[in-house]
Chains A and B, each alone.
Chain A
Amino acid sequence: MKDFIIPDRDYGTPAAKSKQMVTLTIDGFDVTVPEGTSIMRAAAEIGISVPKLCATDSVDAFGSCRLCLVEIEGRNGTPASCTTPVAAGLKVTTQNAKLKQLRRGVMELYISDHPLDCLTCSANGDCELQDMAGAVGLRDVRYEAVQTHFRAKDTSGQVNAQYIPRDDSNPYFSYDPQKCIVCSRCVRACEEVQGTFALTIEGRGFDSRVSFGAKTDTALTSDCVSCGACVAACPTATLQEKSIIDIGTPERSVITTCAYCGVGCSFKAELRGDELVRMVPYKHGKANRGHSCVKGRFAYGYASHQDRILNPMIRENISDPWREVSWAEAMEFTATRMQGIIDKHGRHSVGVITSSRCTNEEAYLVQKLTRAVFMNNNTDTCARVCHSPTGYGLGQTLGTSAGTQDFDSVEHTDVVIVIGANPTDGHPVFASRLKKRLRAGAKLIVIDPRRTDIVQSPHIKAAHHLALTPGTNVAVVTALAHVIVTEGLFDEAFIRERCDWDEFQNYAEFAARPENSPESTALLTGVSAEELRAAARLYAKGGNGAIYYGLGVTEHSQGSTTVIGIANLAMMTGNVGRAGVGVNPLRGQNNVQGSCDMGSFPHELPGYRHVKGEGVREIFQKVWGVQIDDEPGLRIPNMLDAAVEGTFKGLYCQGEDILQSDPDTKHVAAGLAAMDCVIVHDLFLNETANYAHVFLPGSTFLEKDGTFTNAERRINRVRKVMAPRNGYADWEVTQMLANAMLKQSGRAPWGYTHPSQIMDEIAMTTPSFAGVSYERLEELGSVQWPCNEAAPEGTPLMHVDGFVRGKGKFINTEYVATDERTGPRFPLLLTTGRILSQYNVGAQTRRTANVAWHTEDLLEIHPHDAEVRGIKDGDYVRLASRAGETSLRAKVTDRVNPGVVYTTFHHPDTQANVITTDYSDWATNCPEYKVTAVQVGLSNGPSEWQKDYAAQAAYSRRIAAAE
């Protein structure tokens, strides 16, 4: 195990962005820094640490503690170095007799109102107050405070009204007010870094205290979203991780990448021995810049959850109980079964599903397994069910299947369109960066059926919220184009230079048709024409315009069409190819981008190259020594159809729970039940495992080496923090399976001994990864593909001097209403989403204390719709569609419009996908999760299906007792 010790010093104040440099002298040393830098930071640059308490470089300086005083030649007094900016020629002294005395005085005051239990304090060794007492040479405290905040009773035995007991309500950190020095670092972190404004300083002077909103609010019941920014900022034991209180301070750290969402935050995993003590967002992480959300920061407990399966298990039939076996026996059994299927039903009767949760190297090996060992192209990935339309739409219009920007780009944006995405819940760290920009004055347009938090939150209000009817994205996007075209708001120079002018003419003619005007589409979309026109004008003419979109765009019958429409909007307004603009898909799972890059789709080899291309096949045939099938393979829904039909019999499914995450659960169950060999490779006995014959235990991101690629195409290292509890990293398990099969057919085995070798193979075969290697990643920290000879340091912004495909392509976006329509039996439209504390199907987050925030899926319904059905908040309701029915509790809220209901899909008991239908995107078969016609009514309890399902699940999860 490697120990990465990276100096992580606190410079006291944030870096200044100015290009203008200033030279000054500090303690006799010259230092040159950007204009606007604080004296404190300038000193830190040359290794001089001015004592400080209220300053930290994640937030703006506040200047309240007066510990950081310095003297400046020719100026009066002793200014605070954290709030005093540098100026040319200043001569600064940070240490002399006068300053020493002043600082000791300040420390004495602090310490007189602070308990002196340092030895047993949980922050012992990790406390800046302690450090500063040492730094200023505090040796005694001359006065005893009469009034304190830390004594439960005052000196006369009376209850001390100033004493506030510890608040332990948050599952991950505690708030112990007696240790607070009221430096307000936490308050500023919550405002500036996270943007939640959950904390305030109440009262004045001696009475001032940190507070979670109203007096009655605890940390848990307040607006706090448990991002941990305040905890990281707090210099004392006041706000502290409970894991530190339990375990003690860590002694080493490893830099790695969060395995939850597509933001791909970098973390320092801090350990003592082999025990993970805490995860701290890594300051130098280029995606997150030192911030995190509750999932990555705290919700890692699933890795050691008792439900984790650590030994391989097999069974003849899915009605048998599981039998724990050795790895060797499991591989023998599996290889024999799979080979038997291939011998009997042909090589096209088996396939794989790669995971967007696993590493690039693992996804690459799984698709290689099907292409080079099974000898077909039947590989697909869970990205199918979320972002496949992104790949198609952006590939067609711009020429690459990926977002155009890095996250830093948002700092240069003037107008943001968020469409079909809920960043504060789905991509929280990006949302924090976005909100920071919005508070600085950028304008926001939200296109979403639901009033998501970003529409209105403290200090943020969307200029326009187009609350469209689910399923009408294309109509709205085309109407925006209509306004831009007919009002002449497009960027002719850009289009002439970068796109095909005739194609644009053709598109403009289409968009300008009267049926595409906002006035004509208003009835259909429910969006006011005036509002839409205003939004279009703002985006086209408001400066740098950037579009961020999510699954609310892709998971529709016309998902690909909407993506195309979004690309059209960006091209016609010239909003591509520089900082602050662009088209940015917000990816759901951590490695959706990577799994797509790695050739997980059945029609393309790594690097998005179609299998029909002889040249491309040739590259891989040489390296792999096999013949590659030139026909596209089956996609997930097609695999299931083929299974039901009897021509698809065996599936290796890595890190993916298709039974819970894919639509039309009954159809998925029927498909799985029809197969002869389902291999589930996962951490837990997931829902799909109910239909599996082989269970191969997986490893967590903490237990292996590899890389993830986030939504900005950034390849981040995942580093092994501890040994795999199940014995093997996932890539090793895939290799064992491949080798067991290769042995049976007398072929040469694979021989990877480290994931870096897999990356080398990727680099060798895939031009956009040609420059990527573990050494390079070590050097640069991370890199955004394409990374090759032309761009050895990677590519933060795409399409800078021209589109990847040559000329940007405008494609007509005809609105076709989904066939999933409301009617008398199913009058409401259901749309689905996710919430902050839970992740996807919840297999991980449900196994952490995050359940404190979300114990069950709720159905949001408008008061009007609720009232006519006699539904009250908290009632158990039945939710039915043409596909099936389930039941859950209702939450009555006007976040949704009348006619629309909304739920999350984090809990298997809810089985929200029993409801969703098998309609899908026309181009990619990405399922239409976001629109289902439903009816809602009062109910007494779980539906028949839920009961049957629960019984079947319990039955199929039996594990035979070991002899």
Chain B
Amino acid sequence: MSHESPHAKLIYMANQIAKFMESKPHAEGVALLASHINDFWEPRMRRHLFEVIDAGGEGLRPLVLQAAEKIKRPVSA
């Protein structure tokens, strides 16, 4: 299966990370999810993620949304 749009793929990836972090104590999970995305996602990917979040975050697991404010918004390059 190929993910058609870049958004669908990023939603999928963010949710995958969330599923791992969900087995941790909540606050830790939120913090680690955010730092994982900050550490490994290039600004373009984070920008797309914020497009999804800003549009209501449809399809994202709650933990991703809860971590959103800790995820760095990319400065436009």
Binding site for B on A (CB under 8 A): 346, 348, 377-378, 510, 557-558, 560-561, 602-603, 610, 612, 631-635, 638, 641-642, 644-645, 647, 664, 666-667, 812-814, 816, 820, 882-883, 917-920, 922-925
Contacts and interface: CB of A to CB of B under 8 A. Distances in A.
B16 A557 contact: yes
Contacts of A603: 39-40
A917 B1 contact: yes
A871 B42 CA distance: 47
A612 B39 contact: yes
Given A816-B20, A882-B1, A917-B1, 10 more contacts: A510-B23, A557-B16, A560-B20, A610-B39, A631-B43, A632-B41, A632-B42, A638-B45, A920-B13, A923-B40
Nearest to B24: A812
A348 B2 contact: no
B76 to A, nearest CB: 11
A632 B39 contact: yes
A783 to B, nearest CB: 30
A664 B42 contact: no
Contacts, number: 76
A918 B3 contact: yes
Contacts of A883: 1-2
A743 B36 CA distance: 38
Which among B9, B22, B23, B74 has the highest number of chain A CB atoms within 10 Å?
A: B23
Interface string B17-44: 1011011100000000000101111111
Contacts of A645: 6
B39 A561 contact: no
Given A632-B42, A666-B2, A918-B2, A561 B20 contact: yes
A641 B16 contact: no
Given A641-B6, A814-B23, A883-B2, A633 B39 contact: no
Contact of A631 (B6, B9, B42): B42
Contacts of B44: 348, 634, 638, 642, 647
Nearest to B1: A882
16 contacts: A346-B77, A378-B42, A558-B20, A560-B20, A602-B42, A631-B74, A634-B42, A634-B44, A647-B44, A664-B2, A814-B19, A816-B16, A816-B20, A883-B2, A920-B13, A923-B17
Which among B3, B39, B44, B45 has the highest number of chain A CB atoms within 10 Å?
A: B44
Contact of B9 (A561, A602, A641): A641
Interface of B: 1-3, 6, 9, 13, 16-17, 19-20, 22-24, 36, 38-45, 74, 77
A557 B20 CA distance: 11
Contacts of B19: 814, 816, 922
A820 B2 CA distance: 11
Given A814-B22, A882-B1, A917-B2, A922 B42 contact: no
B73 to A, nearest CB: 12
B17 A348 contact: no
Nearest to A631: B43
B20 A348 contact: no
Contact of A632 (B9, B23, B40): B40
B40 A348 contact: no
B30 to A, nearest CB: 15
A922 B16 contact: yes
Contacts of A924: 40
Contact of B42 (A558, A633, A920): A633
Contacts of B13: 920, 922, 925
B32 to A, nearest CB: 10
Contacts of A378: 42
A641 B36 CA distance: 20
B25 to A, nearest CB: 8
A561 B23 CA distance: 12
A132 B2 CA distance: 68
A636 to B, nearest CB: 12
Contact of A667 (B2, B36, B41, B77): B2
A882 B20 CA distance: 26
Contacts of A638: 42, 44-45
Contacts of B74: 631
A391 to B, nearest CB: 11
A903 B63 CA distance: 38
A-B pairs, top 8 by smallest CB distance, nearest first, are: A922-B16, A814-B23, A882-B1, A812-B23, A634-B42, A816-B19, A631-B43, A922-B17
Contacts of A634: 42, 44-45
Nearest to B72: A631
A923 B36 contact: yes
B15 to A, nearest CB: 9
A558 B20 CA distance: 9
A814 B20 contact: yes
A726 B1 CA distance: 41
Nearest to B18: A922
A448 B35 CA distance: 34
A937 to B, nearest CB: 20
A346 B44 CA distance: 13
Which among A558, A560, A632 has the highest number of chain B CB atoms within 10 Å?
A: A632
Nearest to A637: B9
A664 B42 CA distance: 22
A236 B77 CA distance: 70
B58 to A, nearest CB: 18
B55 to A, nearest CB: 18
Nearest to A564: B20
A378 B42 CA distance: 9
B34 to A, nearest CB: 13
Contacts of A647: 44
Contacts of A632: 39-42
A923 B35 CA distance: 12
A602 B43 CA distance: 12
A813 B23 CA distance: 8
A917 B39 CA distance: 25
Contacts of B22: 814
A611 B10 CA distance: 22
A633 B31 CA distance: 21
Contacts of B9: 641, 918
Nearest to A557: B16
Contacts of A917: 1-2
A647 B22 CA distance: 33
Nearest to A884: B2
Contacts of A610: 39
Which among A602, A641, A883 has the highest number of chain B CB atoms within 10 Å?
A: A641
A789 B32 CA distance: 34
A603 B41 CA distance: 9
A741 B36 CA distance: 34
A634 B48 CA distance: 14
B2 to A, nearest CB: 6
Contacts of A558: 20
A171 to B, nearest CB: 41
A813 to B, nearest CB: 8
Nearest to A918: B2
Contacts of A812: 23-24
A631 B22 CA distance: 26
Nearest to B3: A918
A280 to B, nearest CB: 44
Nearest to A820: B1
Which among B16, B39, B41, B42 has the highest number of chain A CB atoms within 10 Å?
A: B42
Contacts of B43: 348, 631
A557 B13 CA distance: 10
A923 B2 contact: no
Which among A610, A631, A667, A925 has the highest number of chain B CB atoms within 10 Å?
A: A631
A603 B23 CA distance: 25
A378 B39 CA distance: 14
A667 B22 CA distance: 31
A826 B40 CA distance: 33
Contacts of A346: 77
Contacts of A633: 42
A510 B20 CA distance: 13
B6 to A, nearest CB: 6
B62 to A, nearest CB: 16
